[in-house]
Amino acid sequence: MGGKGRSGPTLEDKIVQRAVVEVMNAIYEEDFLGFSYGFRPGRSPHQALDALTVGITTKKVNWVLDADIRDSSEA
């Protein structure tokens, strides 16, 4: 797939990639918590901000944590 010298993925590559995404989503979607929004189908950053706003304005909140983990697989 994606033979040498090509500038991008072929149609076959894209079909296989999409199929893998669908299978992985079906397997792991049930493991995510309801308030998890990152990189999930049908969820957006705007929805995450809306949920955060509702949570902060309707409940007592002592702290909010925002984390961006980069290169966590590198030692």
pTM flag (> 0.85): no
Inside any domain, residue 70: no
Inside any domain, residue 71: no
Higher pLDDT, 50 or 66: 50
Counted domains in the chain: 1
Inside any domain, residue 18: yes
Task: Sort 6 into a burial class: Cβ within 10 Å, 0-12 / 13-18 / 19+.
Answer: exposed
Inside any domain, residue 68: no
Structural domain that includes position 52: 11-58
pLDDT class for 31, splitting at 50, 70, 90? confident
Inside any domain, residue 65: no
Lowest average pLDDT, out of 1-5, 15-19, 32-36, goes to 1-5
Residues whose CB falls within 8 Å of the CB of residue 72, separated by 6 or more in sequence, listed in order? none
Inside any domain, residue 25: yes
